[in-house]
Chain A
Amino acid sequence: MHCIVTGGNVKVLAKAVHSLSRIGDELYVEPQEDGLALRSVNSSRSAYACFLFAPLFFSRCRLHSVQSVFRSLTTLEKTVEKCHIDLDKQKDRLTFTLHCKHGLLKTHNLSFQDSESLQAVFDKDSYANVFRAQPRLLVDTVVHFPPSLEEVTVSVSDERMWVRNHVEEEAEASKAMLTELCLASDEFDHFAAQAHNSVTFCLKELRGLLVFAESTGLPVSMYLDEPGSPVVLSVTDSVLEGNFVLATLSDDPSLRKNSTHKTAPPPPDDFMNDDMDSFLIAMDTSIAPGPSNTGPPPPSLSDDTQEEETDDLDRLPNKKVCLRFLRKDGGVLTVLSKNTPYVCRVASEQTTETSGTKACTLKQIFN
């Protein structure tokens, strides 16, 4: 097998390798009739990624070693003119030859071992829900979640997609922060939700694809089916196709447990269309109820807040800051997140209590 990558494509190849290295430790290299496939899978086999480069054989070598060949992306961009990839089956050797500026030739001979084919079985065309968005939209969405966050839940309806962090049932209520974002269908290039599903998968592995997509400017397509079916994210252009296949939780407990965040099917919300001026904000403090106990926060607020109006927020152990947006017509929107004002959910309860200590307009807060 011998293939040559030239010019700007060397950087694309390098980025694909970096992207794959966030999934697993080993790179599977396979030539096919339709091109060269680079694949990786994680140790628990719950995440798989494949990049297919248009126009071979079978081998597997340490991804880390291949990644070190393309270690410095900035240097690569400036100095590498051509990259040759050769496979020598007799010597069990995979060779990357980088032709660089100033007559410098870098040759990396990596040892590899034969292995069985790595191929994930999925049929994204049969999936009920298909979306496509510019990478910026997804990058801006995931930035709201801490890097340490393991899993995220994506729920879809006809016009909306919700992305929220997945919190384990056993998590301590006082330490849990719930963040949820809502994306409207018009923010996507393509939005087709036939089934109102909710799936939970690992966010960390997705980030590798997003970095690649953002740097190459390619739109990301997302294929969602029922919980248990993997979610597939892919990027394509004329010379490559990348697919990231991530396993999802088969029984999504977040669907059952949290009536406080229940959004499927969500009430017909006109929040998006509301003029912000029509809202007052009340800042409340409360003892945070756990997701599995008492119930939606606002009713309990009315009991406790009277006593805690003047209390220092930090002194009480289970404080949760809750910004309540009170619609003038009586409905309530509640923001549960402490630091991302764009995050909100529609509360299912209807209350007109305004047991807050401070009130100000939305605009003042957002300035």
Chain B
Amino acid sequence: AFQINLTVLLDCLNIFGGTTTPGVSTALRMCYRGYGFPLTLFLEEGGVVTVCKINTQEPEEPIDFEFCSTNVTNKVILQSESLKEAFSELDMTSEVLQITMSPSQPYFRLSTFGNAGNAHYDYSKDSDMMELFKCTETQTNRYKVSLLKPSTKALALSCKVSVRTDNRGFLSLQYLVRNDDGQICFVEYYCCPDEEVEEN
């Protein structure tokens, strides 16, 4: 395992320019020969090949959220379209986003508490946007909006999202992204709850 600077990696990936021209794609090949060697990127676009060598660093231990599927208490899978709308309208004056998942009303609720008042977005379990609904107990958890904000980029690219919470209230967001070739990839976010909310 190794570690590299993310900004440098992004700069290399964008070496042919950031904007995508329709019909033009960039090919990437990543190579790593082992400890002590740089990460080599071969990028090709329109017949032009660029080679980038990024120096590696000793990796830091990533945080282990210890989120495992056996401890998952509530899970829903939604079509991203409806969540995109909710996230774009979220009250930015609220510091937290509260997620309530329950086998009974309101089923799946996103709440904000801003300067003017609070707002709730309720998704019914019978909604045609709800692809999967498996909630075993009523849970309400709050997460810092600033921590969740980066996930909206993945949300924008995705077509489906799975929202899971475990017995500690830790949140797992999994985004299914389908690229132009039809290939599927997943982006996963973990977030710990802001505070314990004992509520029914």
B98 CB to nearest A CB, Å:
13
A288 to B116, CA, bound (A): 53
Report chain B residues within 8 Å CB of A111: 116-117
Q: How many residues of A contact B (CB 8 A)?
A: 21
User: Are the C-beta atoms of A65 and B117 separated by less than 8 Å?
Assistant: yes
User: Are the C-beta atoms of B85 and A79 separated by less than 8 Å?
Assistant: yes
User: Are the C-beta atoms of A105 and B119 separated by less than 8 Å?
Assistant: no
A84 is an interface residue with CB less than 8 A from chain B: no
User: Are the C-beta atoms of B121 and A105 separated by less than 8 Å?
Assistant: yes
User: Are the C-beta atoms of A107 and B85 separated by less than 8 Å?
Assistant: no
Report chain B residues within 8 Å CB of A72: 88-89
B127 is an interface residue with CB less than 8 A from chain A: yes
Report chain B residues within 8 Å CB of A61: 116
Q: Render A93-122 as a binary contact track against B, CB cut-off 8 A, 1 for contact.
A: 100000000111111111100000000000
A83 CB to nearest B CB, Å:
14
A71 to B115, CA, bound (A): 16
Report chain B residues within 8 Å CB of A64: 116
The residue of chain A having its C-beta at the shortest distance from the C-beta of B89 within the complex is: A71
Report chain A residues within 8 Å CB of B123: 103-104
Q: How many residues of B contact A (CB 8 A)?
A: 23
B97 CB to nearest A CB, Å:
15
B167 is an interface residue with CB less than 8 A from chain A: no
Given the known interface contacts A64-B116, A109-B119, A111-B117, the answer about A103 and B85 at a Cβ–Cβ threshold of 8 Å is no
The residue of chain B having its C-beta at the shortest distance from the C-beta of A68 within the complex is: B91
User: Are the C-beta atoms of B91 and A107 separated by less than 8 Å?
Assistant: no
Report chain B residues within 8 Å CB of A107: 119-122
Report chain A residues within 8 Å CB of B114: 65
A110 to B129, CA, bound (A): 28
The residue of chain B having its C-beta at the shortest distance from the C-beta of A93 within the complex is: B117
A366 CB to nearest B CB, Å:
40
Question: Which A residues fall within an 8 A CB radius of B?
Answer: 61-62, 64-65, 68-69, 71-72, 75, 79, 93, 102-111
Which 10 A-B pairs give the minimum distances between C-beta atoms?
A65-B116, A103-B127, A103-B124, A110-B117, A105-B122, A107-B120, A102-B129, A109-B117, A108-B119, A111-B117
Known: A75-B85, A106-B121, A109-B118. 8 other contacts (CB 8 A): A79-B85, A102-B82, A103-B128, A104-B121, A105-B106, A106-B89, A107-B122, A110-B116
